[in-house]
Structure 1
Amino acid sequence: MATKKAENLSFEDAMGELGHIVSEMENGALTLEQSLKQFERGIQLAQASSAKLQQAEQKVSILMGNSTDSELIPFDSTEQK
């Protein structure tokens, strides 16, 4: 099966694949070469996911009427108004 470029995966798909890679590597059954290849893929997935999160934060900031330089306030679902 061909591996999609990390940038072309949805955030959820990238995180799922990253979780699978972590499980494989923790299992310890991979060769050194396989581990390095999976590590490289994991780095690509983590970087692509981070970029997608930053883009989402910017969109939320813009939609909320804040400038892109504004500090984002973490959402706390337990906080009551």
Structure 2
Amino acid sequence: MKLLRQRKTPFIVALNKIDRLYGWKKIDNNGFRESLAMQNKGVQSEFRTRLERTKLLFAEQGFNSELFYENKSMSRFVSLVPTSAHTGE
């Protein structure tokens, strides 16, 4: 990450294994944002808790980060992209 910063190389970060959140329900043919909105409140809360923890870890390394669909400045914030290789979401 330090090398990327030194070279001013933009990058994104995949937050893999979202399907491992306890209670996550796979929703076919849906984007992450819509799928998250359809999960129960406990799953949504757990995702937000983990997201904030991840953002804090990036901040400790000197990087601002934001969920990809909330990122208004790609040049100032690293985009965090939730994914699941297992379910294809």
TM-score range, shorter chain: 0.3 to 0.5
Relative to its length, the structure with more strand (as a share) is 2
Which has the higher Rg, Structure 1 or Structure 2? 1
Which protein has greater RCO, CA pairs closer than 8 Å, 6+ apart? 2
More helix by share: 1
TM-score, normalised on structure 1?
Answer: 0.37
